[in-house]
Chain A
């Protein structure tokens, strides 16, 4: 079905080829997983298979790409689109309309199909993803998992013979992730098409016993079964791409003393809706706290409340004895560092160095000691040599590290992280976690919203689990997982 021969591609302005001499043959009914670190060429490979790479992106291409006997490089994109569908990472960004029905019908309407046929195909596509009940809904009102189901239905409606998923669950919580992989399994069963999934979360794919194609630096470094690759990686003492993090060690310890965080009966409303209700807890110095829960359960609201960016509608929040209602955010920011979810939303300066010292300059505390600390942090994050470069020239993983450096630079006591591991390959994620563990070891407190049970199990001393704005679990991580198990929240449990 798919044949790649000596495929290479180098984006304009780049010295490194994104794809280098790729040879790959895939049969019509296969289930293939493409894995590898960020920037290894996985997404470029997906774009090449759709033909979009050769039409929309400037660069030098060579080699052969055929799908279903069609030379993708020489055919119009629309011909290829009849055979290959691509579901991208963030469903939100790929929607072209405002309602579910319009979105699923969009591609069919563009193909000028008659109304009756569109009606039939929309119903079929929604049925295959289990989304018939969503048909009349506005896209903006859907949950993350529902949005991704609609994005899949929109592609399935065109009846492709190849469906490519580019990290379809990277923005989803474990419950929604399991749901989406369930949909993919159903598609495999009912539609009998070739499915290619680009994914870091290999644990969810194990039941499919897929063929694994592992990539590194634009090359294929492994092509075989997932099970064999995982076995090989363990034997060699290394890490499978997307597999478990390699850094050993127990969770952080808890330090006694005056609490860094004190929350009493916290309730917060956003947009007329109660997002948090009746939350009370204390967090001490030297704790690494993982905050888990489905998307929309109140995790981000909780973190924003700790910095004082959201004020309590009821109750109160104190950080190091300061009431967030009485203290301006600029004062709180000296005590609390906050890393937001999207790295691009928090890069404000025009060089790596200025970005790293941005907060310290704003707070007018940039002295020699801070500069030395920033230099050390940048060096540790392998960014010191790039100190004069523009932050937007960095890779995703490097941006994430820079985000971290820039909130650690002024030495906050409390570090808040909102889903910072999303989109990071295991090596980058492990690096960030190592840095955080270092801070916790020095007595700082880390509160981290996180979807990955493995990370929580390995790194966190304590687990908070939110559901519909209520704090359902607040316990040491091991006990917390037991409580989640008792509640039937299996998607949130680590393996083993």
Chain B
């Protein structure tokens, strides 16, 4: 009668606390690396440079103590990168033939294209993961506000960050409540789809409106909006390490542009 179906659990894509250099970098510096890095991946033409960047990013994740393998969706993204690479290898017939077994032919150009496309994809994914997994959401919001973002917008971001997991959980509860009342999720017509969507989102909407009311009372009751500005207990400071990271980003960007222009 006893059965065991234990499987290794996965964690959501969220901040993983730590004290590594990556964790301690200013969120906006990490944001700059994410944005500029993403652009540079498409500027660089050398597949080996792109794959080198993937290796560096993987090494950085290991040094930061991140458990990438346990983050939800990582395997799907890795599989997608692999598929993109394999498709290029299979269909790009340029350069010298490395393997020629009738219908299966692999060319050097195909290998290069595969590494290039898969590497680009992985670079963007890894940059995003490193940013999200090493940046405490509060630090990002407070960093933005202290950099000049009006605090009303900053707290809109904080509220969104706070409520996303709450709504995710509530969505799961509504889904369970529907299953418990015999709702079947096999949609056969647009009308059924509409009904399902309405039945699912209505409770969430009502709950959201209730939360907004409570939150508004809580914010007003604590003088939110009473003044044009505000002070901060938490100071997200720019350190020497941030300056070095920014300098390094500048060097990488210049090198990538020079390599691109130089052909």
Contact = CB atoms under 8 A, between A and B. Distances in A.
Interface in A304-332: 304, 307, 309, 311-316, 325, 329-330
A107 B222 contact: yes
Contacts of A114: 231
B251 to A, nearest CB: 34
Interface size class of A (residues with CB under 8 A): 35 or more
B147 interface: no
Contacts of A113: 231
B223 interface: yes
Interface in A96-125: 96-99, 101-102, 105-115, 118-119, 122
Nearest to A82: B223
A314 B3 contact: yes
Nearest to A355: B181
B6 A97 contact: no
Contacts of A337: 180
Contacts of B176: 304, 309, 338, 340
Interface in A331-371: 333-334, 336-338, 340, 342, 344-349, 358-359, 362-363
B33 to A, nearest CB: 23
A412 to B, nearest CB: 10
A56 interface: yes
Contacts of A106: 222, 224
A417 B35 CA distance: 49
B180 A345 contact: no
B174 to A, nearest CB: 5
A315 B3 contact: yes
A194 to B, nearest CB: 16
A16 interface: no
B237 interface: no
A360 B220 CA distance: 45
Contact of B184 (A82, A107, A342, A362): A362
Interface in A421-450: none
A479 interface: no
Interface in A71-117: 77-78, 81-82, 85-86, 88, 90, 92-99, 101-102, 105-115
Contacts of A265: 1-2
Interface string A379-396: 000000000000010000
Contact of B179 (A105, A329, A345, A407): A329
B234 A112 contact: no
A359 to B, nearest CB: 4
B231 A348 contact: no
A237 interface: no
A81 B222 contact: yes
Interface string B175-195: 011111111100000000000
Interface stretch (B73-81, B82-90, B160-168, B255-263): B160-168
Interface in B168-226: 170, 173-174, 176-184, 199, 202-203, 206-207, 210-211, 214-226
Interface string A53-64: 001100000000
Contact of A333 (B10, B161, B180): B180
19 contacts: A81-B223, A86-B221, A88-B217, A95-B218, A97-B158, A98-B137, A101-B233, A110-B227, A311-B5, A312-B3, A314-B4, A316-B2, A330-B182, A340-B176, A345-B177, A346-B181, A348-B178, A348-B199, A362-B183
List the 4 closest A-B pairs by CB distance, nearest first: A272-B9, A107-B222, A362-B182, A94-B218
Interface of B: 1-11, 70, 136-138, 142, 155, 158-159, 161-162, 165-166, 170, 173-174, 176-184, 199, 202-203, 206-207, 210-211, 214-227, 229-235
